Amino acid sequence: MKGLSCNSNILSEFPVEQAIDLLAGYGYDAIDICMEIAPPFVPVPVPHMSPDDDTTKRDRVSKRLQQAGIAIAALNAHTNLCARDPQERQINTNFVTGCLQLAADLGAPTVVTGAGGKNAYGYEQWYFDWAVDSLEQLLPVADRLGINLAIESGSPPGCLTYNIETTRRLLSVTGMESLRVLFDPAHYHIRGDNAVEAFQSLQDRIVHVHAKDATGNPENIVFPPLGQGEIDFDRLFGAMGSAGYGGYIAMEYEAFAWDFPKEPQQVLPQEKAFLDELVTAHWR
């Protein structure tokens, strides 16, 4: 296991350079840089970077990372790759293309996105085919740049991939052989899958992991702080350690959407302490 990262959405009130310093100060090994412009929760975090960022900002961020002594684990670039409107779909695909180039420029190994969601009337197969079309544009770019393009399946209603079955369906399409998986146990749990079984089913394609707890169902989703939900993280991390998972584990704190504390000085050490104990037990 490479180390612990953190999705920077919890630090959206700070410039990216300050977010890097804060995470380094609390002992995180890496940062997942938030680039999403329309996540499905409120308050909406301000993205820390964009594919439109110029060379000056890219160089400034790279320098700050070196000074702080932490890495970029991933760029979080969720968008809708199966949008019903073809113009919107192409804009979204172009956004991820730009994120792949940014990842290459910054030395980030992985770009995380989603297959998207059914956002208008239409047959599910249409949306599936549109997602594949978008990925067929993106994967050659990712392969050329040497970046992992990782799909995260989601739990809200309408998500195109949302459990083991639908995720494996996408991965099995001819031409998707280099597509990788961002594993977030919370989404699989919400959709009724066992988190350990989900990891084991997908482990051959998993390159990055989000640590997020969960309780509820697709109509009553709650992502509480780690240890306050229903996921058995000891079993899950035991399975990950036994399998030799060698990527980053990123703390992803979205609990503020349910009015749990948001103050970084409370959240960052609290969540890291929870993960440190598990990592020590199962990797060291």
pLDDT digit string, tens, across residues 156-183: 999 999 999 999 999 999 999 999 999 9
What is the tens place of the pLDDT at every residue in 247-269?
Answer: 999 999 999 999 999 999 999 99
What is the average pLDDT score of the chain?
96
This prediction has a pTM of 0.96
CA-nearest of 55, 50, 39 to 75 is 50
The DSSP output letter for 45 is P
Our CA angle for 278, 114, 213, nearest 5°, is: 30
Structure tokens at 50: 């964009």
Cα-to-chain-centroid distance, residue 277:
22
In angstroms, rounded to a whole number, what is the distance separating the alpha carbons of residues 137 and 255?
A: 34
pLDDT at 37: 79
Our CA angle for 214, 1, 167, nearest 5°, is: 50
What is the identity of the amino acid at 38? A
pLDDT at 43: 77
Rounded average pLDDT over 36-58 = 88
In angstroms, rounded to a whole number, what is the distance separating the alpha carbons of residues 213 and 73?
A: 20
Taken in order of first residue, the domains within the chain and their CATH numbers are 3-283 (3.20.20.150)
What is the tens place of the pLDDT at every residue in 122-136?
Answer: 999 999 999 999 999
